[in-house]
Amino acid sequence: ETGVTQSPTHLIKTRGQQVTLRCSSQSGHNTVSWYQQALGQGPQFIFQYYREEENGRGNFPPRFSGLQFPNYSSELNVNALELDDSALYLCASSLGRLEGSYEQYFGPGTRLTVT
């Protein structure tokens, strides 16, 4: 059984550019959540996908968007990058809210630097 994987590991982009981050969920998990973690802060919830549909969104602007594919892998897209978007982006997979647990399995993250 493979864990949650994310790609790329590190990324450097210029302000105004667009970026796509990818996540492969743990086998059997149908729910994927994305989080942004600034240096020295706790992770902040961006949004969640359940069976290919967005299932909740945090306080992030529309330029943060996502997709979930039939195999439950996911993408996070950020348009018009700003310097404040520099952070560690974490993906977490789980069996979904009906499991009655807050246990989510996190990937190692993608470190995005915007210059």
Question: Interacting stretch for other proteins, rule CB under 8 A, among 14-22, 60-68, 73-81, 97-105?
Answer: 97-105
**Quick one: DSSP state of residue 25?**
P
Buried b / exposed e over 45-68, threshold 16 CB at 10 Å, is ebbbbbeeeebeeeebeeebbbeb
Nearer Cβ to other proteins, position 38 or 80?
38
Place of tokens 């994987």: 5
Site for other proteins in 35-64 (CB under 8 A): 35, 41-45, 48, 50, 55-56, 58
| DSSP conformation letters of 77-102 | EE-S--GGG-EEEEEEEES-GGG---
Shortest distance, position 31 Cβ to other proteins, whole Å? 6
Integer-rounded Cα radius of gyration of the chain: 13
93 binds other proteins (CB under 8 A): no
Shortest distance, position 110 Cβ to other proteins, whole Å? 11
Shortest distance, position 74 Cβ to other proteins, whole Å? 14
Q: Which residues of this chain interact with other proteins, rule CB under 8 A? A: 4, 31, 33, 35, 41-45, 48, 50, 55-56, 58, 90-92, 94, 96-109
